[in-house]
Amino acid sequence: MKDEALFSRSNRWFVWSVAGVLALLLFGLAIGFVWMPYHNGEAGGSLWDAICRAAGAPGGNSYRDVNATKVISSDVIVIPDMIAADKEAIGRGATLSLRCTMCHGARGMSEAGTPNLAGQDAVAIYKQLRDFQSGQRKSAIMEPQAHGLSDQDMRDLAAYFAYLPRTSPPPVLVEQLKAPLVAQIGAPMRNIAPCISCHGGSDRKTGAPTLDGEPESYILTQLQAFADGHRRNDINGQMRNIARQMTKEEITTAAHYYAGR
Amino acid sequence: MFHSRRLVLAHFWVAFAAFLLALMLGEWQMYVRSPLFSGLSNPELYYRSVTAHGSAMAYVFPTLVAMGFGYAIVELSLKRPLVGLRWAWAGFGLLVAGTVIAMIPVSMGLASVLYTFYPPMIGNAFYYIGVVLVVVGSWIWVALMSVNLRLWKRDNPGVPVPLPMFANVAGAYLWAWTSVGAALEILLQILPVALGFRSTIDAGLARVLFSWTLHAIVYFWLFPSYIAFYTLVPRAIGGRLYSDLMGRVGFALFLVFSMPIGIHHIFQDPEVGEGFKFLHAIFTAMVSVPTLLTVFTITASVEIAARLRGGTGVVGWVRALPWGNPMMLAVAFSFIMLGFGGAGGIINMSYHLDFAIHNTQWITGHFHLIYGGAIVIMYFAIAYDLWPHLTGKALAQIVLMRVQLWLWFVGMIVVTFPWHYVGILAIPRRMAYFDYSDPAIAPQALSVIITFFGGLLLLASALLFIFILLRGHHAPRITLPEFRFSAPVHAVHHVPAALNGFALWLALMIGLTVVNYGYPIVKLLGTPGTAVPAIPVGVKR
């Protein structure tokens, strides 16, 4: 047995197994990369086009830029902990925030029906400011306010408001159990994820604002704006998809629940 | 003779403990997503449980069984002590440490990412570190299997490697190569994000790398069962192995074909071209060849046993089989489940049929039937067969063993058949709860309830299994005849060089992997802008 050379053309195990695997491979390649693209009518060009398409490499004549006509709802990319929350940033933010006090209150709290910003998630504030500035989110008041802000200004404002004490302590598991169904469980069959899975309670997703203690009228208006498509700066239409599926009762229940927390 | 019995027992006991705990979690999961429960208030608890269940069942339990069985095979088939016993204990220690390190963040809800990781979700770094330790521990086993075979071959030039050892080392090499995909994903992609060095991750590339591991890992789980088919079953039922050579061909083909096929798990993913999906489908179909070779060979071996016991007729010999023998029951149940599971698998690997059942409960049904059913029932049989040799004491509860195997078989059918059915009705998998009052899924409620009761049978079976093994430790001491593997019909004096080593099959395995995975991976690596922000998973605020 020792004398039997394995990797040799005289060894039939070697010859037949390699030949068999190669034949199978060539068969698969011919069908998968040549016949199939032509047969499915996708190639529409040279053999090279067909092979490129089948390999998953857009190229050649059949390549079209699918992003060319894409409507971008928001160009802000949010990542966790992207806002530095050092003393200097908070200090600068506090100074800048003087222009916000008319509507959002002296320390981020007001009775004016505007969003309460004290203790709000920094990334969420930053994203909204960026969207106001670029016009992805429409507001006659906020667009001009955000117009002159630099990127650093927006980060500092976000850091300052996040630093201010929250209106209510974070929810605990027992409190969660008292939440209405739409907040706790959502409606799986209508593709409505539970509010708590992104807005705090069960989990927090980057860029999702805290809703606790926000004015009822504000949450209501925003949910309706998402539902009818007036507001469209949510990443990949996440909130539009949810709000469209929500019933009127669910919208009022959710707004009432979060406003009362 | 049996020097490493403590080592093997340690592997088996930790494996079965992890199995029992994970099984309980599985039954709890079936309960909370059935109409019997009103719905979880916190879906995160469900995913936490699925992560623990999957990690224990996929990484810890089968790896320990394969390792323990592998160490036993070295001594029992090569008839000499295991070389590197200290290293083996070190590998075992790494596995246990890795399991504990991974399970702490999972149980705290800091890594509910499921055992398949699913980037861009990122959990606590210690979860991944624990999994890496488990895999590194198993790599020590791979090295020891290789070294032990090499030393034996050096001392026995010209002698054919015993079939159990040949298959065992084939399984070890398969695992070594297939674990590379997930290892690359964790070490190069996930851990840098989990440790805070990076904040974005290429989820598509991660999925391709994981698919490298995800299908062949099933064949790694399957190897101990197939080794039992060939080398324990014929002896245990009083027959002979029909063909030793066929066994070698089967294991060699598994080595070649189970690796370059994983992309059939991501048929619906956009980042891989259709041509490669087709290629992987072709090679997936090829896995049926060694499977059918095995079914043929083992059925023929069983027929030999039946005819030796006086069975006659074309199919009449089936009645003459020793149906009271646990090994006979186990192999019969295993084949039935393998048959149904394999048929379902052909649907999964067919590009267009896969569209209908992708990400539905059908898939969960499929892999529970194949792995939980056909494979795990043979793990039970292996334990029953080895236990007296490990403890030196009798394992006499034959009736209880039969009940246990029947419970497992019936339970697994009752769990997985309704899952297949509701899967065709498009119930999704990986959902924490369903609104069964919705008319769209109300008709599925009954099937889901049935699976819960199937799960109770499985739980009863597992508890009985543990009970039987524990009783085995307290039985009277006996003197056993020397452990034997199955003898083939024709004694093996010479095997072709190709089937006495692995060089050719490993070369084909690696070559096919490069062809089938090379371009998709290189393309994804070279495409800019494919990374997305990572989504940290874990209980916060």
The pLDDT tens digits for B385-443 are 999 999 999 998 999 999 999 999 999 999 999 999 999 998 999 988 888 888 888 89
Q: Has B154 been annotated as catalytic?
A: no
Q: Check CB contact of B154 with chain A, cutoff 8 Å.
A: no
B43 CB neighbours in chain A (<8 A) are 185, 194, 197, 202
Q: Check CB contact of A173 with chain B, cutoff 8 Å.
A: yes
The torsion of the CA quartet B326, B329, B330, B334, rounded to 10 degrees, works out to 180
Residue listed under structure tokens 């991976």: B521
Distance from CA of B33 to the nearest CA of A (A): 12
CA dist A141 and A250 (Å) reads 29
Distance from CA of B74 to the nearest CA of A (A): 22
- From B16, B219, B230, B384, the catalytic residue: B219
- Among residues B494, B508, B485, the alpha carbon closest in space to that of B165 is found at B485
* Cβ proximity of B166 and B211 under 8 Å: no
CA dist B465 and B160 (Å) reads 36
Per-residue pLDDT averaged across A34-49, rounded? 76
pTM of the predicted structure, to 2 decimals: 0.86
Residue of B nearest to A183 (CA): B41
Q: Six-digit token pair at A125? A: 């504030």
CA dist B357 and B354 (Å) reads 5
Q: Determine which of A21, A182, A206, A210 to mutate to test the interface with B (most B C-beta atoms within 10 Å).
A: A21
* Cβ proximity of A56 and A127 under 8 Å: no
Q: Has B366 been annotated as catalytic?
A: yes
CA dist B72 and B11 (Å) reads 11
CA dist B304 and B233 (Å) reads 12
Per-residue pLDDT averaged across A242-252, rounded? 94
Residue of B nearest to A210 (CA): B541
* CB spacing of A28 vs B282 below 8 angstroms: yes
- Among residues B335, B305, B334, the alpha carbon closest in space to that of B321 is found at B305
pLDDT (tens digit, 0 to 9) for every residue of chain B, 541 residues total?
A: 578 999 999 999 999 999 999 999 999 999 999 999 877 777 889 999 999 999 999 999 999 999 999 999 999 999 999 999 999 999 999 999 999 999 999 999 999 999 999 999 999 999 999 999 999 999 999 999 999 999 999 999 989 999 999 999 999 999 999 999 999 999 999 999 999 999 899 999 999 999 999 999 999 999 999 999 999 999 999 999 999 999 999 999 999 999 899 999 999 998 899 999 999 999 999 999 999 999 999 999 999 999 999 999 999 999 999 999 999 999 999 999 999 999 999 999 998 899 999 999 999 999 999 999 999 999 999 999 999 999 999 998 999 999 999 999 999 999 999 999 999 998 999 988 888 888 888 899 999 999 999 999 999 999 999 999 999 999 999 998 999 999 999 999 999 999 999 999 999 999 999 999 999 999 999 888 888 888 888 755 4
CA dist B15 and B115 (Å) reads 17
Residues β-bridged to residue B536? B122
Residues β-bridged to residue B488? B241
Pairing of strands B121-122, B535-536: parallel
- Helix B244-257 crosses helix B163-184 at what angle (to 10 degrees)? 10
Distance from CA of B521 to the nearest CA of A (A): 11
Q: How far is CA B403 from CA B236, B323, B325, B409, B417, in A?
A: 18, 12, 12, 10, 21
* Cβ proximity of B495 and B166 under 8 Å: no
Q: Has B430 been annotated as catalytic?
A: yes
* Cβ proximity of B276 and B233 under 8 Å: no
